[in-house]
Amino acid sequence: MMMTIGCFHAHYSNIVLIEEALAPYEVELVHYVDPGLDRLKHDADFTEAVTHEKVSQTLQWIAHCHADAILVTCTLFAAVLEQEAKHVPVPVVGIDDPLLQEMQQNPGEYILAFTNPATIEGTMVRVNQASLQQGDEDGQRNGIEAIETEAVLIPGTFELIMRGDKEGYLAEVSTGLQQLVEKYPGSTVVAAQLSMAPAAARVTADTGMLIYSPLASLAAYLEKKFNMAQR
């Protein structure tokens, strides 16, 4: 029987990225898009509790709609998964889960680039937790090769994608990522949000500068986790 993955997005532009990444697999993708939290995040009375409540409700709803698993593609949503996913009756994967695994397996210096300032704190909490787990599980190696991270915002870009200017966003983020690679030659630069993946791919193709993105290992990660069959 074909597996069904419910995909929880904050913006419709992420749909095509996931569709393309998982096209080789026998899987049904059902997409749920809710930009509301991104629109509310600057309100004076906005709190993390609002994010927890909305993400929890939506995860439960997606699971109820006959999903076998859930993929959360927004880093703002993914930041609260540690607490909320445990209450969901199907497996839940955050878009940055493959990155966290990659960092644990390959310690070193990572520069995490963001365009949405609201996602930085939550993502870095998850990254730091992964660093601690890597140290706990392999403390001897961690004493030699630690995970070192720094978050960098590419300013004035996220509003471009939110108002539908995909080309403007692609151009500005590509420039920002290339500048980061040049500024931090000894580090691995990561496009931390899914919406940045096309820009990461463009810079890598145009310059040969390797930039890790959420799509880099997502398909392989999900294939292994859910034993997905290829078409």
23 pLDDT higher than 60: yes
- Residues 192-208, mean pLDDT to the nearest whole number: 94
Count how many domains the chain has: 2
Residue 212 lies in a domain: no
* Residue 1: other Cβ atoms inside 10 A: 5
24 and 103 share one domain? no
Q: Which strand (E) or helix (H) includes residue 199?
A: helix 197-207
- Residues 161-166, mean pLDDT to the nearest whole number: 88
Full domain range(s) for residue 203:
98-207
The tens digit of pLDDT for each residue in 109-142 reads: 999 999 999 889 888 988 888 777 765 555 444 4
Question: Nearest-CA neighbor of 63 among 79, 47, 84?
Answer: 84
> Residue 200 contacts by C-beta under 8 Å, 6 or more apart in sequence?
177, 191, 211, 212, 213
In the chain, what percentage of residues exceed pLDDT 70?
A: 95
- Residue 134 has a pLDDT of 61
Does the CA dihedral 202-208-212-216 come out positive or negative?
Answer: positive
* Residue 199: other Cβ atoms inside 10 A: 26
192 and 109 share one domain? yes
Confidence of residue 46 (pLDDT cuts 50, 70, 90): confident
Q: Which one has a higher pLDDT value, 102 or 67?
A: 67
Nearest-angstrom CA–CA distance, 68 and 89: 9
pLDDT mean across residues, the chain: 89
Structural tokens at position 120 = 């930085």
65 and 107 share one domain? no
Nearest-angstrom CA–CA distance, 179 and 74: 24
Does the CA dihedral 216-27-122-101 come out positive or negative?
Answer: negative
pTM of the model: 0.88
26 pLDDT higher than 60: yes
Amino acid at 180: L
Structural tokens at position 172 = 């500005």
107 and 141 share one domain? yes
89 and 136 share one domain? no
- Residue 141 has a pLDDT of 47
